[in-house]
Amino acid sequence: MRDDCPATVAVAVALIFAAAGLADAATGGNFLLGETNTETSTAVMTDTTGIPLSLNAPAGQAPFSVNSTTQVNRLNAQFVGGESAAQLRSAGGAGVTAEAQDTPLTQSAVTVASTGALPAGTYYVSATALLYARGKAAYRNVDANPPSLGGGISSGYAQAAETTVVIVSANSALSEQCYGFGTAQFEYDAAITAIQIDSSSMGTQPDLIRRRLPWHAVGIPPRIGPLTRRLP
């Protein structure tokens, strides 16, 4: 019995080294956890009852990584850059006045077009209207915070057009409003369009450049006094 002891010890040591994974697993061999595994053909994992592979990682860590930018066919992803498919989906709204509709203007704002309810997000908004100013001031604005206002003073027609960027809360609507400071003034062919901006960056904020841009570009309404004067 004593003569067999050295042989028994030698065999046990050899098994320990093999289990430690000093050599990479090769095609046809066992997959070694915590070690580098090499394949010369595609390995297929199948589970006929459920998900064949589940990977768990600590918070803030990716569950797996790849070494190529080549597209993986039929790979579905719930998030792209941390945003869901609903967040990346194009969204917006538009509204126009009815054909041949003449809307009388008053000093109180009259809503002439609306986008309808919008998903929450940042929107690029454009609004236009043909105003019959009749020698007085006539204006239209996008009902937002801050408002975007444009218009003019004319003996006849004045085309008002304005663009702005608006942050919209869920199910809110943007509307286009017109108003005037004279009698027998009208609005024609008003339209408003809102297109959601997917980018998370808005660039330079308007309140940082108010002193360098004209009031109509950053939504600062003019004083009412000068608007009511007649043209020479």
pLDDT grade for 26, boundaries at 50, 70 and 90: low
Tens digits of per-residue pLDDT, 171-209? 899 999 888 888 889 898 899 999 988 655 555 555 544
The Cα 127–Cα 184 span in angstroms is 23
Give the residue with greater pLDDT, 16 vs 92.
92
Q: Report pTM.
A: 0.53
Consecutive H or E run containing 164: strand 157-168
pLDDT on residue 51: 92
- Of residues 86 and 171, the one with the higher pLDDT is 171
Instruction: Determine how β-strand 186-197 pairs with β-strand 121-132.
Output: antiparallel
pLDDT tens, position by position, 139-161: 878 887 767 777 777 888 888 88
Q: How far is Cα 215 from Cα 148, in angstroms, rounded to an integer?
A: 9
Pairing of strands 186-197, 103-104: antiparallel
CA 188 to centroid of chain Cα atoms = 32
DSSP classification of residue 180:
E
CA–CA separation, 88 and 95 (whole Å): 23
Whether the upstream peptide bond of residue 6 has omega within 30° of 0, thus cis, is no
All domains of the chain in start order, with CATH: 92-198+212-227 (2.60.120.40)
Hunting for tokens 């046809």 — which residue is that?
A: 28
For residues 129 and 150, is the Cβ–Cβ distance under 8 A?
Answer: no
Q: Residue 120: phi, psi to the nearest 5?
A: -60, 140
The residue that leads in pLDDT, 227 or 181, is 181
Q: Are 131 and 140 in contact (CB under 8 A)?
A: yes
